[in-house]
Amino acid sequence: MALLDVSNLDVRFALRQGEVKALRDVSFTLDRGERLGIVGESGAGKSVAAFTLLNLIAKPGYIAGGSIRFDGQELTTMKPRQLQQIRGNKISMIFQDPMMTLNPVLTIGEQMVECLKAHRRIRTRAAREIALNKLRQVPIPSPEKRLDQYPHELSGGMRQRIIIAIALLLDPDIIVADEPTTALDVTIQAEIMSLLLELCEKHNVALVLITHDLGVVSQVTQRTLVMYAGRVIEQGPTREIINDAQHPYTQGLINALPQMATPGSRLNQIPGAMPTLSRIPSGCAFHPRCSFAFNDDGSPRRDCREVIPGFVRSGNCDVACHMVRDLVENNSDARDPVEFQEAP
Amino acid sequence: MTQVMAKTAPQATSAQAGDTLVEIRDLEKHFPLSGDFLEQLRFKGGKLVRRQEFVHAINGVDIDVRRGESLCVVGESGCGKSTVARMVMGLLHPTGGEIRYDGQRIDNLSPRQLLPYRRRMQMIFQNPYASLNPRMTIQQTLEEPLRFHHPDWKTPQIRDKVAEVMDSVGIDPEWGKRFGHEFSGGQRQRIAIARALAVDPEFIVADEPISALDVSIQAQVLNLLMDAQETHHLTYLFITHDLAVVEHFGTRVVVMYLGRVCEVAETRTLFSTPRHPYTQALLSAIPRLEDDRPDYIRLEGEVPTPVNLPSGCVFHGRCPHANERCRREVPQLIAAESTQVACHAVEEGRL
């Protein structure tokens, strides 16, 4: 049984202008020790997905349907008190901005001890000892000194290390990291990412990594989930998605990277922009930007415009695309990699 | 003397591509950290002492921007790349050194004398959410620079020009009546580019123009910038921290660290054979899609504070190849084969 089993999750925000469907029909599983990447552009719903895992969706947002099962327990209907036993304890979270996460008026030590005391009956001295131990694991120079420092005395990379130490404090089963390195420089990013990877492997912690950076995903994760306009459109092993993406959007995203084009030539851009969640196109949400949403004679495909595509199995990936479904059905044994063409 | 020349300078001299358009020599910028005069006074040992502290943002930078190229300046946050851009544009005044535009010194000109240069050089900022005036329609935003720089133009002529630039960046001229907040990030950046192109500049300083945008939108804006370069014969000074973009976009690259230039090279040379230890570490840290890349070079410690600069080479505290000379002596940019490197180890042949 999977450690985390998310099925058919629906999250909505009841706004004055009407309901916004932030997540629709999101399903995935996460095994113990597995590293899953969730990729998408801003507005794809990846952060909402992360927040929902810990039931951190605040009003006007609410979970409209689906289930999240962690270790056999249903999280969506759990009482807040019970949920507190899991949140931070079994599933911990790393947020994007380390300065926002740390409390500026408490020392690092106070924050770490506070976290331990909230979940365990433990003396301050013992808690400090554990905190010190965790700081040594994320190597921070002179950890004893750091415990009595305030967050503003530390650099960005150091703060993010401390956040990782706090996330590991209670030996969680899952760490959810929401864009953990977006606010950092490349050299620091590389350091933090390899640290996260190393610690997850060492302690057999599962990682849900939310990012817009396909490079980071390909370095760190084993499986990848690609999201677009609130839906999962493709999921599968990371290597397969990076090397041989099936969904036109994933292909477009990868081909748009500067490293995929010959230096100096035009980049393969995806036309248009991600739709706002209050005005999601009918059928496949990607169809207005998709260069495959046409019949052979050039007329727009009706099913792309009207029918929401279901998942089809292609290789080891699940893809939600009518065009890929046709391809898979037509040559059921041989899988034809789809050539990407620059959109007009 | 400068006044006379400034008045005659605006007509672009028909120079061939490749010669130097912008010349930055020994540029320095220090920001005072200790407030005004009264705040600097301290009572120490029974005496009033005045103590001043500075952030040494730029410490002796030499950069040449050649006509028609896209010169990329890369470095991590706090290395001074944006400060250089702002000083070239005249938005900040250098503490020391010179900036020459087309042979004419511009860093000591008065705002009025600088006016003709402002038309020839334009800037694109990082955050298109902040760089568009929220109270102006797009039409007004795009008309403003034209009315300012061409006071003799009549309204129909201005309208035509605005429609032309909107068309060239892929904005529907119908959108002119709308306000900035009605557009997405990518569209706003297009508008900001249109505003820069409106006065037909020859030199554009782009300060992280795509950092705030999504991947698929980044590609659109980069393509637009490359198209604009071709049609308007632009020269770019492109400030970014994204090395993948540099590899694609730049003709030459300047790598900066803590207010100094480490390495200047052609893009291809820099990416195939980085010489400076910092450049090597920086390049190895790019997250790549490939599976089989060598491990990245781990740097010791963090970027030191620019308030108290390290002695000698600013990079010596984190450099795996540093020796006694690196701690003592500031390395100068020297030509090493096809690149320019400021590193004692390279100079001595240790690296």
Q: Are residues A300 and A220 in the same domain?
A: yes
Verify that A158 and A181 share a domain, yes or no.
no
Which of A219, A256, A264 minimises the CB distance to B219? A256
Query: CA distances (Å), A76 to each of A9, A65, A73, A196, B46, in order?
Result: 10, 9, 9, 28, 67
Place of tokens 């699940």: A318
Q: What is the pLDDT of residues A266-291, one digit of tens each?
A: 888 888 888 888 888 999 999 999 98
Q: Do B214 and A257 lie within an 8 Å CB cutoff?
A: no
Nearest to A259 among B218, B244, B267 (CB): B244
Scanning B89-181, the segments in alpha helix (DSSP H) are: 111-120, 128-131, 138-149, 155-168
Mutate to test the interface with A, among B189, B216, B218, B246 (most CBs of A within 10 A): B216
State pLDDT tens for residues B52-82: 888 899 999 999 999 999 999 998 888 889 9
Please report residues of B whose CB lies closer than 8 A to that of A266.
Answer: 223, 226-227
Q: Is residue A62 part of a domain?
A: no
User: Which tokens go with B313?
Assistant: 């080479």
Measure the CA angle with vertex A161, ends A156 and A162; round to 5°: 95
Percent of chain B whose predicted confidence (pLDDT) is above 90: 49
pLDDT digits 0-9 by tens, A23-32: 999 999 999 9
Q: Is residue A303 part of a domain?
A: yes
pLDDT tens-place string over residues A284-316:
999 999 989 888 888 888 889 999 999 999 888
Q: Is the model's pLDDT at A336 over the cut of 70?
A: no
Pick from A153, A198, A257, A266 the residue to mutate for testing the B interface (most B CBs within 10 Å). Answer: A257
State residue A284 phi and psi, 5-degree precision: -75, 125
pTM beyond cutoff 0.90: no
- The minimal CB distance from B223 to the residues A41, A188, A267 is found for A267
CB A217 within 8 A of CB A211: yes
Contact A22, A61 (CB under 8 A): yes
Residue B81, both tokens: 């790349």
Q: Which two tokens stand for residue A133?
A: 């131990």
Q: Indicate the residue among A121, A147, A169 that finishes a domain.
A: A169
Structural tokens at position B341: 């490197």
Instruction: Please state, in angstroms and as integers, the Cα–Cα distance from residue B46 to each residue in B36, B43, B176, B235, following that order.
Output: 22, 6, 66, 58
Residue pLDDT, tens place only, B128-158: 888 899 999 999 999 999 999 999 999 999 9
A6 located within any domain = no
B83, two tokens: 């400060």
| Domain stop point among A169, A201, A218 | A169
Res A341: pLDDT: 47
Per the structure, the complete domain to which residue A152 belongs is given by 98-169
Same domain, A247 and A159: no
Of A169, A199, A226, the one marking the end of a domain is A169
Distance separating alpha carbons of residues B233 and A29, to the nearest angstrom: 53
* Whole-number pLDDT of residue B291: 64
With contacts defined as CB-CB under 8 Å, which chain A residues touch B128?
Answer: none
Q: Write down the pLDDT at residue B4.
A: 42
Structural domain contains residue A52: no
The residue among B203 and A267 whose pLDDT is bigger is: B203
Eight-state DSSP code of residue A170: T
Chain B, nearest residue to A41 by Cα: B214
Contacts of A41 in chain B (CB under 8 A): 214-217
Sheet holding A4-15, edge to edge: A18-30, A4-15, A61-70, A73-74
CB contact under 8 A, B76 and A186: yes
Q: Tell me which residue in A158, A194, A263 faces B247 most closely, judged by beta carbons.
A: A263
3-state secondary structure of B321: coil
- Do A159 and A237 share a domain, yes or no? no
Instruction: Looking at the structure, tell me whether residues A138 and A240 fall in a common domain.
Output: no
Chain B CA closest to residue A270 = B216
Residues A129 and A263 in one domain: no
Alpha carbon distance B67, B147 (integer Å):
27
CB–CB of B76 and A264 under 8 A?
Answer: no
Closest residue by Cα to residue A63 from A6, A130, A1? A6
Contacting residues of B for A257, CB less than 8 Å apart: 215, 219, 244, 289
* Mean pLDDT, rounded, for B97-112: 91
Rounded average pLDDT over B246-275:
92
Domain shared by A275 and A145, yes or no: no
Return d(Cα B288, Cα B80) in angstroms, integer: 26
Residue at A229 is within a domain: yes
Size of interface A-B (CB pairs under 8 A): 112
Residue A271 lies in a domain: yes
pLDDT for res B292: 59
Tens digits of per-residue pLDDT, B169-200? 888 888 889 998 888 888 899 999 999 999 99
Q: Is A213 on the interface with B (CB under 8 A)?
A: yes
Same domain for A342 and A194? yes
Whether residues A257 and B289 touch (CB distance < 8 A) is answered with: yes
To the nearest 10°, the Cα dihedral for B30, B35, B36, B37? Answer: -90
A97 touches chain B (CB under 8 A): no
Sign of CA dihedral A169, A101, B240, B242: positive
Q: From start to end of B47-95, where are the E strands?
A: 47-50, 54-66, 70-74
Structure token pair of residue B300: 């010791």
Whether the CB-CB separation of A320 and A234 falls below 8 Å is answered with yes
Hey, what domains does chain B have and what are their CATH numbers? 2-8+20-250 (3.40.50.300), 255-347 (no CATH)
Same domain? For A219 and A261 the reply is: yes
Interface of A with B in 309-328 (CB under 8 A): none
Nearest CB partner across the interface for B288, out of A254, A259, A266: A259
Structure tokens at A31: 């095994």
pLDDT at res. A340: 47
CB contact under 8 Å between A258 and B223, yes or no, is no
Q: Is residue A254 part of a domain?
A: yes
CB neighbourhood size of A302 (10 A): 12
How far apart are alpha carbons B160 and B155 in whole angstroms?
Answer: 9
* Number of CB atoms found within 10 A of residue B288's CB: 16
CB-CB under 8 Å, B215 with A239: no
Q: Are residues A39 and A108 in the same domain?
A: no
CA distance A308 to chain B (A): 23
Average pLDDT of A192-204? Answer: 91
State how far Cα A67 lies from the chain centre. 18
**Model confidence band, residue B294 (pLDDT cutoffs 50, 70, 90):** low
Quick one: A163 and A179 in the same domain?
no
pLDDT value, residue A174:
94
Token digits for B334? Answer: 């020297």
Give the chain A residue nearest B278 (alpha carbons): A187
| Backbone phi, psi, residue A173, to 5° | -90, -30
> Taking CB atoms and an 8 Å limit, are B241 and A185 in contact across chains?
yes
Question: Which amino acid is it at A223?
Answer: R
User: A54 pLDDT band (50/70/90 cuts)?
Assistant: confident
The pLDDT of residue B24 is 94
> What distance in Å separates residue A258's CA from the closest CA in chain B?
6
Over residues A227-265, the pLDDT tens digits come to 999 999 999 999 999 999 999 999 999 988 888 888 878
Tell me which chain A residues have a C-beta less than 8 angstroms from the C-beta of B216.
41, 252-253, 256, 269-270, 273-274
* A193 near B CB under 8 A: yes
pLDDT exceeds 90 at position B201: yes
Measured CA distances, A51 to A63, A177, B120 (Å): 11, 10, 48
| In the predicted structure, residue B18 carries a pLDDT above the cut 80 | no
Question: Cβ separation of A42 and B214 shorter than 8 Å?
Answer: yes
Q: How many domains does chain A have?
A: 2
ipTM score of the complex? 0.78
**B338: number of CA atoms within 13 Å, CB side?**
12
Q: What is the mean pLDDT of residues B314-328?
A: 90
Task: Tell me whether residue B229 is exposed, middle or buried, using C-beta atoms within 10 angstroms of its C-beta: 0 to 12, 13 to 18, 19 or more.
Answer: middle
Cite the beta strand spans of chain A per DSSP E: 4-15, 18-30, 35-39, 61-70, 73-74, 91-94, 174-178, 206-211, 223-228, 231-237, 311-314, 317-320
Find out whether A326 and A284 touch, Cβ atoms under 8 Å.
no
CATH number at residue A340: 3.40.50.300
Which tokens in the block code for residue A70? 């962690």
CA-based nearest residue in chain A for residue B271 = A263
Contact residues, A window 234-273, toward B, CB-based 8 Å cutoff: 239, 242, 252-254, 256-261, 263-264, 266-271, 273
Asked whether the predicted pLDDT for residue A334 surpasses 90, the reply is no
A23 lies in a domain? no
pLDDT at A116 over 50: yes
Q: Supply the pLDDT for residue B13.
A: 43
The answer to whether residue B2 scores a pLDDT higher than 50 is no
Assess whether pLDDT exceeds 50 at residue A335.
no
Q: Do residue A37 and residue A146 come from a single domain?
A: no
